[in-house]
Structure 1
């Protein structure tokens, strides 16, 4: 996302209010910095926020979208029973790997909210901690291997 200066935002607001093409010279009446208007117009045109034809200026759909506030991320639903869930990331991973039938890396990544390479690195970390992770063949119709936790090293 391009970060806009106050002067550029003022230009875009003025063009949005105009609702159509307007002479570039009329922007001197806006709240934009008069000394920076020409440079701001060039920058806005290069990023696609405005179009310039002869001496008129028009805001584009991209420019209108830049004025809209960013959408807030959707809140994650609260787990039903917080006390029964493991507290640490490592404990959550171990609990998932203890499931009967094993679990795939994509399923682990989605459940934990991690990227696949982070999930594989965490599996490697468990192996380094002395845990035995067994790779199971894919289920019928799948090409993704499953993993399960065999046992933990007593000395770890």
Structure 2
């Protein structure tokens, strides 16, 4: 079990786990998840979400989490505005791993070492269920968007280009 799964079980949140064999040569983790889950579950790419850690005001002291579809790009200006800061940038992968407790490609928005402000892209609300990393590569959690937002105390905001 991962911290993400343990948290959902502890809170008695309804969710499903989906696993697939991760290709160690694959570095496009979101695209891999889509290609391996779609044939089994008949979902669209926009239903699978990636978790990005951003550095607020580029100071390496304050961070936030952004959850967005794997087939979209983070809009840094929209995200900075939503987080009420002047400028943001993607956190260094090593720092993201250290502060979340997860490896890049398996960073879950759930069960991180420290609770960070979290934004979920508005598009999540169009689905009954969405998929987020379960805390390791090849492990996805299927969860209702509102349940995810409630657990994370997250806000739905337009954060993609």
Q: Under TM normalisation by the shorter chain, which class is it?
A: under 0.3
Higher helix share: 1
Higher strand share: 2
The structure whose Rg is larger is 1
